[in-house]
Amino acid sequence: MLAVLALALALPAPALSQSARPTVTTGGTAGLTPSSVTVLGRVDPNGAQTTYFFQYGPTPLYGAATPELVAGSGTAAINVVAGLAGLAPATRYHYRLVARNRHGLVMGADRTFRTRNQPLGLTLAATPNPVALDRPTILAGTLSGTGNAGRPIVLQANPFPYTQGFVTIANPQLTNAQGAFAFPLLSVPRNSQFRVLIPDRPQVASPIVLVSVAVRVSTNVSSRRVRPGGRVRFFGRVTPARPGARMAIQRLRGRRWVTVAGMLTRRASSRHSRYGKTIRIRRGGRYRVFVEVVDGSFVSSAGRTVTISRRR
């Protein structure tokens, strides 16, 4: 009995247990983008059921981890990978591979990567759009990407008929800390294309924004209360001058404007045209005068709504 005990005590530890803590190696990276990367590594379970995960973060304290996955219970090293997403562009991250089994937890060496720069991009929009003639609008947008703060932005315009090409029309502005900018315009003389761009390298231009300008229609009526079948004269101006433009007197029926009479404008001056039309009012209601523009220099528009009621 003593001889058997002495033999057992003399056996080396691996003879009693063939498994041990896992062996881990933190590997490199693949597929690096401004917001994602694939991290690599190797895990040897050393004969015991083993799981693994990657820790990552902007400092050696990490702060985030991938879901824990199974590496098996083999006795040879296997390749493992994990995808990291939602990362900040142009940022240095630390990461390491961690594995554990029933014999303990092992942490791989700390390694780092730097996400790629976010390419610069420009957005642009006009508010309001369409804009009334001789009324202000604001062209505003955002420069996104790495290094978007404090960058010079220039505004360019290409007015109808869009053949002259883009020309700078305002002093450069610097983007704010968030990359935002705004160019207020007191007026837009006619339908125009706008864009903004970064004049220095890398040169980036925004998509083209078409700002439409609506002609202005003044609306006057000879009376707002008429007997059934009575006549009302609609008259006023269209600015800028649109001689020969088609106009319509319309009545609101439900949610639709229905034309009840038509006419053409006539030239009054270099600045504006005139119109006038007398119609018989068979029903009271809400009326307006609409002018159609078809040559592309402006957009069609309507004057104010006028309520006409019938006398009993």
Q: Which two tokens stand for residue 199?
A: 């004049």
Round to whole Å and give the CA distance between 36 and 115.
Answer: 7
Round to whole Å and give the CA distance between 175 and 153.
Answer: 7
Contact partners, residue 272, CB within 8 Å, separation at least 6: 237, 238, 239, 240, 241
Question: What is the residue extent of each domain of the chain?
Answer: 17-114, 121-212, 216-310
Q: Is the pLDDT of residue 143 over 80?
A: yes
| Dmax (CA) of the chain | 130
37 touches 30 (CB < 8 A): yes
| pLDDT on residue 14 | 43
Q: Tell if the pTM clears 0.85, that is, is over it.
A: no
Residue from 242, 234, 241 nearest 276 by CA = 234
Tens digits of per-residue pLDDT, 36-66? 999 999 999 999 999 999 999 999 999 999 9
pLDDT band at 159 (very low <50, low <70, confident <90, very high): very high
Average pLDDT over every residue of 220-246: 93
Tens digits of per-residue pLDDT, 74-84? 999 999 999 99
232-to-98, 216, 266, 284, 287 alpha-carbon distances in Å: 87, 22, 20, 11, 11
How many beta carbons lie within 10 A of that of residue 125, not counting itself?
Answer: 15
Percent of the chain at pLDDT exceeding 70: 94
Q: Which helix (H) or strand (E) holds 287?
A: strand 285-291
Phi/psi of residue 163, nearest 5 degrees: -105, -15
Tens digits of per-residue pLDDT, 74-128? 999 999 999 999 998 999 999 999 999 999 999 999 999 999 988 999 999 999 9
Round to whole Å and give the CA distance between 276 and 62.
Answer: 77
Residue from 249, 259, 260 nearest 282 by CA = 260
Phi/psi of residue 10, nearest 5 degrees: -80, -15
pLDDT band at 18 (very low <50, low <70, confident <90, very high): low
Long-range contacts of 151-154 (CB under 8 A, 24+ apart): 151/120, 151/175, 151/179, 151/198, 151/200, 152/198, 152/199, 152/200, 153/122, 153/181, 153/196, 153/197, 153/198, 154/196, 154/197, 154/199
Q: Which CATH architecture has domain 17-114?
A: Sandwich (2.60)
- Same fold flag, 17-114 and 121-212: yes
Tens digits of per-residue pLDDT, 182-221? 999 999 999 999 999 998 877 889 999 999 999 999 999 9
Round to whole Å and give the CA distance between 146 and 131.
Answer: 34
User: Kind of pairing, strands 266-267 and 273-280?
Assistant: antiparallel
| pLDDT on residue 3 | 44
| pLDDT on residue 311 | 77
**Radius of gyration of the chain, Cα coordinates, nearest whole angstrom:** 37
Average pLDDT over every residue of 239-246: 94
Average pLDDT over every residue of 227-243: 93
Q: Is the pLDDT of residue 8 over 60?
A: no
4-to-215, 235, 236 alpha-carbon distances in Å: 109, 122, 120
Round to whole Å and give the CA distance between 89 and 146.
Answer: 7
Tens digits of per-residue pLDDT, 263-294? 999 988 999 999 999 999 988 899 999 999 99
CATH number of 216-310: 2.60.40.10
How high does pLDDT run on average in the chain? 91
Which homologous superfamily does the CATH classification assign to the domain defined by 121-212?
Immunoglobulins (2.60.40.10)
